[in-house]
Amino acid sequence: MLNAATWCRLTRMAEQVRYSPVSTKREDAVSVFCKPESDTKYAIGVDGATGKGEDYTSIQVWSRRLPFEQVAWFRSKTISTVAGSAVMVNLAKWYNNALLVIETRFPGNAYQDNAIETYRYQNLYRKEDRLDTAPGVSAKFGICTTEADKRLMVNETMRLLYAPDGSQMVFHDPVTIEEFCNFVYIEDKGKVGAAPGSHDDTVMATMLAMRGCVLNPQKPRPKREKVTVDEHTAHMQYLLKKDFERVAGGQKSRLVRV
């Protein structure tokens, strides 16, 4: 699914992230890469599992500000749908009442039901009917992914990864990157999915989050203009810096008379 250039770029990114301090920062079982910002919207993709088999529950939190950035992540093979729903909703509330995009095919329907019935959570994704003669929004919450839906999400994610002005997705988690590298077209089955021996839960949760991110994405933050100073000011700043270092080391200041 990934071309050679993108695969190499993601692999290099995985190596950088693997040794980055941010990837080791954990709060309970949730990996937090960036805390919520008050002026930023977020989307959360949820690929649920029962907690009793070999599949993982994966919850991906992404910023909806371009370029889209992975800000938090949760993954568990043993968590129940009840406990997993609590993690999901708590993350959504913390990240400014994020848009929840839940895969509702069993057992994901339990996550959707808990969000509505138990937590009365309101910011839930509803599928758009784009190909209908009268385009509108479905009355049903979440996405019950068919092969056609999966292909649309794959194409949508690929457009973001291969954007002409550079990738519009910023990854922080090495497991997510690794699963993207092992997400391939399975020829004998005629569909995309995880390579033999691999998982695709983090990929699916990420693509679900992208479905929410592309709905009214926020503009990038304006870049700060570089401040230039004249040679004399730069020299004085250098002298002050060195003098502060000298004082911090227990020596007398050469610039300040006492």
Q: What is the pLDDT of residue 189?
A: 62
Parse the chain into domains and list their residue ranges. 4-213, 229-258
Q: What is the pLDDT of residue 234?
A: 75
Q: What letter represents residue 90's amino acid?
A: N
Rank 16-25, 127-136, 174-183, 204-213 by mean pLDDT and report only the highest. 204-213
Q: What is the pLDDT of residue 81?
A: 93
Q: What is the pLDDT of residue 19?
A: 36
Give residue 205's pLDDT band: very low, low, confident or very high (50, 70, 90): very high
CB 76 within 8 A of CB 84: yes
Give the closest residue to 140 by CA, choosing from 122, 124, 123, 126. 126
Q: pLDDT tens for residues 122-140? A: 999 987 665 554 555 555 8
Least confident of 26-30, 89-93, 231-235, 239-243: 26-30
pTM of structure:
0.74
Q: pLDDT tens for residues 36-65? A: 999 999 999 999 998 887 789 999 999 999
Q: What is the pLDDT of residue 113?
A: 92
Judge whether residue 221 has pLDDT over 90.
no
Please tell me the CATH code under which domain 4-213 is placed. Answer: 3.30.420.240
Long-range CB pairs of 110-118, under 8 A, 24+ apart, other chains included = 110/48, 110/81, 110/85, 111/46, 111/48, 111/81, 111/84, 111/85, 112/141, 112/142, 114/81, 114/82, 114/85, 114/89, 115/85, 115/88, 115/89, 116/141, 118/85
